[in-house]
Chain A
Amino acid sequence: MFGLITYVLLAPLAAFAIIIFFGKRLPRGGDWVSLIGIWSGLAISLYLFFTRVLGNYDPSYVMELESFNWVSWGDFSLRIGFLIDNMAIVMMVVVTLISSLVFLYSVGYMHGDPKYSRFFAFLSLFAFSMLGVILADNLLIIFVFWELVGLSSYLLIGFWHEKDSAADAGKKAFITNRIGDAGMLIGILIVFTTLGTLNLHEVAAGVTAGKLTGVLLTVAGLCLFCGAIGKSAQFPLHVWLPDAMEGPTPVSALIHAATMVAAGVYLTARIFVILSFDASLLIAYIGGFTAIFAATIAVAQYDIKRVLAYSTLSQLGYMVMALGVGSYMAGFFHLVTHAMFKACLFLGSGSIIHALHYALHHVHSDADAQDMRNMGGLRKLMPLTFGTFLIATLSLSGVPFFSGFLSKDAILGGTLAFWMMHPTHWLLPIFGFSAAILTAFYMFRLIYMTFTGTFRPGPEAEKEVHESPWTMTFPLVTLATLSIFIFFSLNPFSPADGWFATLFPNPPRAYETVAIHADAVPVEITNEHHSEAVGAEGGTVPAAEEHDKTDPIVHPVEHHNAHHDVHHKAHTRAMIISILMATIGILIATGGYFWKSKKLDPAVWQKRLGVLYQGMFNKWWADEIYHATVINGTILLAKILGWFDLYIIDGIVNGVAWLSRVFAVIDGWFDNNIVDGLVNLTAWFVGIWGRFVRLFQGGQLQRYILYTLIVVGLFIIMKVV
């Protein structure tokens, strides 16, 4: 068991090492090494999935695997190991499945690239890091793999680093992620200093026991969530993801649509139990805002990959919002379904770009192969791509009978239920439902612009457009198939009875349990003051405010039943509204781009919306605003500091040097004249004395004897006198 999981984790790492060192000597650049690594990982993951998740069918299943001492300082030791539960196994399946398909797809897509071999090495490194994030049982180890994921993402975005734009996008992604990671590190440190452990289970237990409460808990949760904001490209740090589309399309599909960006959501789900009410609320608003914000941008883009990128942002916003409003299952469910259909969409767009690039190259046109205005009528030219793309689009738009409907419906239901319990937060469902309209609209706009009408570059290029090879279409078909409802729930209108929903019930959150625990403590307990304090800090007060004049926490069981009813009602309403929203979006798109209705002519509406359209088209000037504030601010600060360095610090240094010189001159004069003078004086005196004494030493023995005689005579006289 332990061995199998270790194998899944380490096989991609081994593949990375083999390819990076021996890739050029291996046949086919060693792509088969990484394929073997990841496909065997997929097989093991599926085996675990069928035996442990579906076989056990235990929602609270947690496998205790041995952990080992990594480092120890004094009486503290850091143990690392795997935390395997249903979520980790499902996520393993998702990552290895998408990776396997994308690796296979890359064999066709990257064919003939000069760095073909290295591409597979980087992909394998990514798979390793991502699996590490999923499996780690410890926040610090998660952080380590988290950074590795960031590194491999950087390497892959900037894979074609000869292009300045790709190199810049890589740097942008890396730096933007660092900002979020700094927050995450602070969160980890807060958790460590207050609880003394980083193990996820122990952290959850510590928070539930009320060891970390109040504002600090909220701050810790939000700081950890900062990492997720960076990785999952939520609102303030979203700017890197659209630029990351500079990377090869398989990378966009694997990393920037299906897996890496989901890491943030996954992390949020991992720390779900410790999030306080206030932290959750802020998370919900960030997610909801990102969902609607990114959707409006996606509406006005022409680059096919950018539309999908903003769509990804929007869907990630949905997932984060779901986690924020407490719909744990819905958020994770959407992560899984989204991974399937968004990977399918990206790979489909890659297939289109690949074909179009070839065709345009053939007729010597330098038109942009990613611009939807250069496409059209591809339905007949690439039927397989079209079919799979359509299924994925329907799924993303939230049309019944597809997986996206089930998960999005769960999220919208959860949001609606949250609003029904906390009526002050009416903005959240509005974000959710309006983003649903926009999603349907922009996806069908994409479909119509790309696949219907006439092929815009002209009939000559049209002859050169071919369907992609099987290595590229096989993943498309597989992913499209997995976007159908039947794989997640037998009931196409509700996920509630499917295996997914039953296996992932909402875990009790720490702030709720702490509050209940504090209330349940009988008054007889000696330290009454203490229990009150815990209750107050543990979220009773904010919760009571939000709970609209009732106090549901006193009766946890009844509260739970009420909760269930609200959810049931909300779900039915959400389903009806979301079907309505999807229909509206699809109809508007069909009217504007397929039937070409005069009333819905896009050009007219672009003028009519005026500055709003400009905002959507220019991504709400997010890059420009960041450039004007953050980047220019940094440069200004650097200039100020540079000036300070040049004039103040250097001035001090130069002043000290000048002073030293003056002192040295004085000192030198003193040395030359006073000290040397004394020495010379002594020498001169000694010389004079020597010359005097020399007079007596004539070298004649007789005189010496005479002197001796005189001295002896003197002594005798002195003695006598």
Chain B
Amino acid sequence: MHDLNVYLFISGALFLLGLLAVITRKNAVSVLMGIELILNSAGLNFVAFSHFSTGNLSGQAAALFVIIVAAAEAAVALAVFLNIYRLKGTSEVNKVNILQG
């Protein structure tokens, strides 16, 4: 079919887009969406490597796990954001610096 590199480029682009979103977006939900992109790039890598090397479905299984963990993580992250909003009155990431040492 297609070459493995195509998949890797696509997943690298996804990863960079995600990272860019995580670093630059002010809105916490947008940052979360960037994280989702990064996770999906990783899932794509799993599937691609699995397809081109072993031929069995273990990569697809790992991708399913990533999706499930991402869903759970999104739930937790949204709960954290809600609490931060309640505490600070905002959901902009650069205004929250309570992790400062």
Contacts and interface: CB of A to CB of B under 8 A. Distances in A.
Interface in A692-709: 694, 697-702, 705-706, 709
B99 A699 contact: yes
B22 A702 contact: yes
Interface string B72-97: 00000000000000000000011011
Contacts of B96: 699-700
Contact of B101 (A699, A700, A705): A699
A698 B19 contact: no
Smallest CB-CB A-B distances: 4 pairs: A699-B100, A699-B97, A697-B101, A699-B99
Interface in B4-60: 19, 22-24, 31
A701 B93 contact: yes
A317 B101 CA distance: 106
Contacts of B22: 702, 705
A705 B38 CA distance: 13
B1 interface: no
A709 B19 contact: yes
B97 A705 contact: no
A709 B16 CA distance: 11
A705 B18 CA distance: 12
B29 to A, nearest CB: 14
B94 A697 contact: no
Interface in A674-718: 694, 697-702, 705-706, 709
Nearest to A706: B23
A700 B96 CA distance: 7
Contact of B93 (A694, A697, A702, A709): A702
A403 to B, nearest CB: 116
A341 B89 CA distance: 127
A696 to B, nearest CB: 9
Interface of A: 694, 697-702, 705-706, 709
Given A705-B23, A706-B23, A709-B23, A698 B97 contact: yes
B93 to A, nearest CB: 6
A706 B25 CA distance: 13
A700 B23 contact: no
A694 B100 CA distance: 9
A268 B96 CA distance: 112
- Of the listed residues A698, A701, A705, A706, the one surrounded by the most CB atoms of chain B closer than 10 A to its CB is A701
B97 A700 contact: yes
A700 B19 contact: no
Contacts of B23: 702, 705-706, 709
11 contacts: A697-B100, A697-B101, A698-B100, A699-B97, A699-B100, A699-B101, A700-B94, A701-B99, A702-B24, A702-B31, A702-B93
Contacts of B100: 697-699
B56 to A, nearest CB: 32
Contacts of B97: 698-700
Nearest to B24: A702
A694 B101 contact: yes
A416 B77 CA distance: 134
Nearest to B28: A701
Contacts of A697: 100-101
A186 to B, nearest CB: 86
A698 B100 CA distance: 5
A700 B93 contact: yes
Contacts of A698: 97, 100
Contacts of A702: 22-24, 31, 93-94
Given A698-B97, A699-B101, A700-B97, 13 more contacts: A697-B101, A700-B93, A700-B96, A700-B99, A701-B93, A701-B99, A702-B23, A702-B31, A702-B93, A705-B19, A705-B22, A705-B23, A709-B23
B60 to A, nearest CB: 29
B19 A699 contact: no
